[in-house]
Structure 1
């Protein structure tokens, strides 16, 4: 089942969550990003020198987004588009082909991907590279270089902002490493709906199980997928399972019931919330997910 796409962002809620709204300004250039997490990263590097706008809105399922004519109209006023790459935005090539001459930068350039190991996407790169704080440092450096090229007069600002933001990412990485290491050895397994946590589980020494590899896959939550995860949870005596905020939880709720595990809660991966939600920034997303995993699997915050 392909998740139903969301509508255009470009709304005031993003301004409140640290991502600039597309304001009419003759002084600032506008940078578009394909989703909210990239917008937050970019805004931290841009500071006040650039307008940063996410095409998709908070809470959107970003893999199969269907852009609108309004997206194209708004994008033609942009000076640059930042995308994730690694096959994440299935719509992006068509979008840029229709858009024309706006340059784009792929923020995963330089990252060694983890390949998907099962199902229809076997052998293809897992696109959720930002779920590793170490990879996020590469995103930030790619953003910094892109902004210096776009606006050379702002280089000092971009360099300083990127340095300060990278220090915050490293601090979150160190904290997550310590916290997740507190999990008992027999509970170091992360079970989710989408296989979006391969980089996080690699960084922090957890095993990984999931219902489907990528949200855009046909047949999400099939009986075969559900049975496979139930068997893994039973065999590993895994105490809790999780699902992501942008997809229905019913398949994983069934896993929890039939495997005798708890449903440990919702994790955030593909999208931030608005300013009033639990994960208005990328760094709070990482910490919120770690707290949920720790609570679900029995570790201590």
Structure 2
């Protein structure tokens, strides 16, 4: 579920860990990455030395993020002053992503790199320390939750962005990092972060209000992956999932039985699954209980511009609405 330094989606449930757990699985092929580093890093650094920098060319400073969710949040905070890019593309599974030589060149030429931290981007840490680029972990300051099951127990749950309250912290961290990068526009970054945080607070308040009529015994969020710990905590829901991270070869009979028993014991009206994993295990839970399948939730990646969740606000609003409507049986 992958570093600290303030300055300084398609894989599915069939993905298997490569090495001993350190959060999310580290990609199996380190030799390929090492070779890519050896080939690409000198090219990237050489490009930095031979070509004019973004500032020299009069272009906007470039901010590179590890995945699309962070890129969209960063774009809202940056406004018109910075160019924000994402390493991974829309719809990509981020946990086991394997960097390419092109990714390394991008990192070497960026003016600032943002990553989530909390052991999410193990793949990115393989080379980020090798380039002389400022680096900010945007989850710094979040009240961390730990994974509680299986070999990952005790590791931080990295999906902190699934809480609108946490993303307000992300936005503040970004605004400070952008002010360091571009001091002339520090006030704009702070104002953008404040405006964005107000929109996030509205999503949080609406979710809590929509769930207020739900009986206490039914205030539970049952999903395929344990990616909603922060959202559940901040919305006053208990969390139950089939597997803790998207690194299981398949859902075990014991995991499915445990989910079925939880749904039955708590009279849970609806269950959910994420867009980047197989829904089949949760279908078995639905078949064995009176719960309905409440809908598909989005977590790790935005969609293309014409898709259902092209921005982070679209993603979190979609998930909040689907959860509230399915659990309460009424439209938000």
- Establish whether TM, by shorter chain, passes 0.5: yes
Aligned to 1:2: 15
Root mean square deviation of aligned Cα: 2.0
Map 1:136-215; keep pairs closer than 5 Å.
136-215=167-246
Helix, strand or coil: the match of 2:122? coil
Corresponding residue to 1:91 among 100, 103, 123: 123
State the shift of 1:81 in Å: 0.8
Aligned to 1:293: 323
Q: Determine which structure has more spread, i.e. the larger CA radius of gyration.
A: 2
Corresponding residue to 1:67 among 91, 99, 103: 99
User: Contact 1:29–1:51 at 8 Å: present in 2 too?
Assistant: yes
User: Contact 1:183–1:299 at 8 Å: present in 2 too?
Assistant: no
Aligned to 2:79: 47
Q: Distance in 2 between matches of 1:88 and 1:173?
A: 24
Residue segments in structure 1 that go unaligned for 5+ positions in a row: 6-22
- Please give the TM-score of this superposition, normalised by the length of structure 2: 0.80
Quick one: structure 1 residues 260 and 248, their matched pair in 2 at CA, closer, same or farther if it must change by over 3 Å?
same
1:180-234 Cα shifts (integer Å, max 9, x gaps):
223233321110011011111111111111011121x343412221121122112
Helix, strand or coil: the match of 1:61? coil
State the shift of 1:253 in Å: 1.2
State the shift of 1:57 in Å: 1.1
Moved over 6 A (4+): none
Q: Distance in 1 between matches of 2:243 and 2:98?
A: 21
Helix, strand or coil: the match of 1:117? coil
Corresponding residue to 2:141 among 101, 110, 115: 110
Q: Distance in 2 between matches of 1:251 and 1:103?
A: 42
Residue segments in structure 2 that go unaligned for 5+ positions in a row: 1-13, 18-26, 28-53
1:233-258 Cα shifts (integer Å, max 9, x gaps):
12222121110011111111122112
Aligned to 1:264: 294
State the shift of 1:133 in Å: 1.5
User: Contact 1:115–1:124 at 8 Å: present in 2 too?
Assistant: yes
Helix, strand or coil: the match of 1:91? helix
Q: Distance in 2 between matches of 1:57 and 1:182?
A: 39
Q: Distance in 1 between matches of 2:65 and 2:220?
A: 32
Map 1:29-44; keep pairs closer than 5 Å.
29-44=61-76
Helix, strand or coil: the match of 1:85? coil
Q: Distance in 2 between matches of 1:258 and 1:72?
A: 48
